[in-house]
A and B are shown apart, each in its own frame.
Chain A
Amino acid sequence: MTQPTLEGVDHPAQDQEAQVEHGAHPTEAKYVKVALVLAVLTAVEVGLYYTKFSEAATNAALIGLAAVKFVMVAAYFMHLKFDNKLLRRLFITGFVLASFVYVGFLLTLGVFLP
């Protein structure tokens, strides 16, 4: 009879996998590069705000840029890219649940309708 296991459980056979999941954090130089990219993306966002393109295209680009910044901070500064998958799943579950609940809520109330 096999014992049920939790994801990320510390069993001897899983030590190697656990070591892979606890990969080394990035270098300080990498952190600075990520921060520079984030600063540039913020400048692009502000630039887009002042452009006179179509509103739909601008809004889509702004949301896309915000999503990229969000993922970069979570992946590199919060180390989600390097830490155990269980931690990633905990956060993503909360985020996805919130997104579905509130987008559904806003759709129900017709917020996105013209």
Chain B
Amino acid sequence: MATKERSLAHEEPVTPAPEHHHATNTGLSNEKLAMWAFLGSECLLFGALISTYFLYRGRSLSGPTTDIYDIPYTSVSSFVLLMSSLTMVLALAAIQRGDYRRLRVWLLATALLGASFIAGQVYEFTSFIREGLTIKTNLFGSSFFVLTGFHGVHVTLGIVMLLSLWNLSLRGSLTQERSEVVEIAGLYWHFVDVVWIVIFTVVYLIPT
């Protein structure tokens, strides 16, 4: 019986928290609106970085280029980041139904997956530098490190956000009524994931 009840609880549609009706001009949360506007502007930032990479990757004068990529290794990193989006959305679903224990589990899982991705990136950067590719080696190196480095900084900021939310939840400050905070942090996290989907394809998988 208890098992059936638990199973039903997980199959019910996960609805947004009741406070989604906002007394604003648009009827929407200003914070959520601001996050979407910010993410729209981030498209321009990453668009500039990806375009610069496209422009410079075939114009290397010396040193290693795209031949030093380790595709199987980066594929695993991409998979890890992709799965962190799943744990993030499960964290949101947990707080929206008032399950704070699972919220903390999924937030921590997301932060750990993000940290694994960053650790992988640090290892990749280190191995590239050991093979002679630095940010100053050639145009390819400059554009590659700036693009993936900026993305890494975004992931790191996301991890800080997730750990802050986990800490707030531990103190009991993150309640079901404030689930939108998790939703907004989630939007940022998923955006970082979609940017990596593009980077993984255009930087790593599409040959020069």
A and B are partners in one complex rather than unrelated chains = yes
Q: Most B CB atoms within 10 A — which of A46, A74, A99, A105?
A: A46
- The B interface, classified by DSSP as helix, strand, loop or mixed, is helix
B40, closest chain A residue (CB): A94
Does A32 interact with chain B (Cβ within 8 Å)?
Answer: yes
Is B11 touching A73 in the complex (CB atoms < 8 A)? Answer: no
Is A73 touching B13 in the complex (CB atoms < 8 A)? Answer: no
Is B25 touching A24 in the complex (CB atoms < 8 A)? Answer: no
Pick the interface stretch among B29-37, B129-137, B139-147, B154-162. Answer: B29-37
Does B103 interact with chain A (Cβ within 8 Å)?
Answer: no
A78 proximity list for chain B (CB < 8 A): 186-187, 190-191
Interface residues on A, range: 35 or more
The smallest C-beta distance from A74 to any residue of chain B, in angstroms, reads: 6
The smallest C-beta distance from B22 to any residue of chain A, in angstroms, reads: 8
Is B197 touching A70 in the complex (CB atoms < 8 A)? Answer: yes
Is B44 touching A97 in the complex (CB atoms < 8 A)? Answer: yes
Q: Which of A7, A18, A28, A93 lies in contact with B10, CB distance below 8 A?
A: A28
Is A26 touching B14 in the complex (CB atoms < 8 A)? Answer: yes
Q: Which of B26, B72, B85, B96 lies in contact with A10, CB distance below 8 A?
A: B26
B62 proximity list for chain A (CB < 8 A): none
The smallest C-beta distance from B13 to any residue of chain A, in angstroms, reads: 4
Count of residues in B whose CB is under 8 Å from the partner chain:
62
Q: Which of A27, A35, A48 lies in contact with B11, CB distance below 8 A?
A: A27
Does B3 interact with chain A (Cβ within 8 Å)?
Answer: no
Q: With the chains together, A10 CA to B15 CA distance in Å?
A: 20
The smallest C-beta distance from B41 to any residue of chain A, in angstroms, reads: 6
Q: If A25-B93, A31-B90, A38-B82 touch, does A66 touch B28 (CB 8 Å cutoff)?
A: no
A105, closest chain B residue (CB): B51
Is B27 touching A8 in the complex (CB atoms < 8 A)? Answer: yes
Task: Indicate with 1 or 0, residue by residue over A71-112, a CB within 8 angstroms of chain B CB atoms.
Answer: 001101111000010110011011101110110011001010
Is A31 touching B86 in the complex (CB atoms < 8 A)? Answer: yes
Is A8 touching B83 in the complex (CB atoms < 8 A)? Answer: no
A69, closest chain B residue (CB): B197
A45, closest chain B residue (CB): B205
A69 proximity list for chain B (CB < 8 A): 82, 194, 197
A66 proximity list for chain B (CB < 8 A): 197-198, 200-202
Does A9 interact with chain B (Cβ within 8 Å)?
Answer: yes
Is B93 touching A31 in the complex (CB atoms < 8 A)? Answer: yes
B186 proximity list for chain A (CB < 8 A): 77-78
Q: Which of B11, B22, B71 lies in contact with A46, CB distance below 8 A?
A: B71
* Chain A interface (Cβ < 8 Å from any Cβ of B): 6-10, 14, 18, 22, 24-29, 31-32, 34-35, 38-39, 42, 45-46, 48-49, 55, 59, 62-63, 65-66, 69-70, 73-74, 76-79, 84, 86-87, 90-91, 93-95, 97-99, 101-102, 105-106, 109, 111
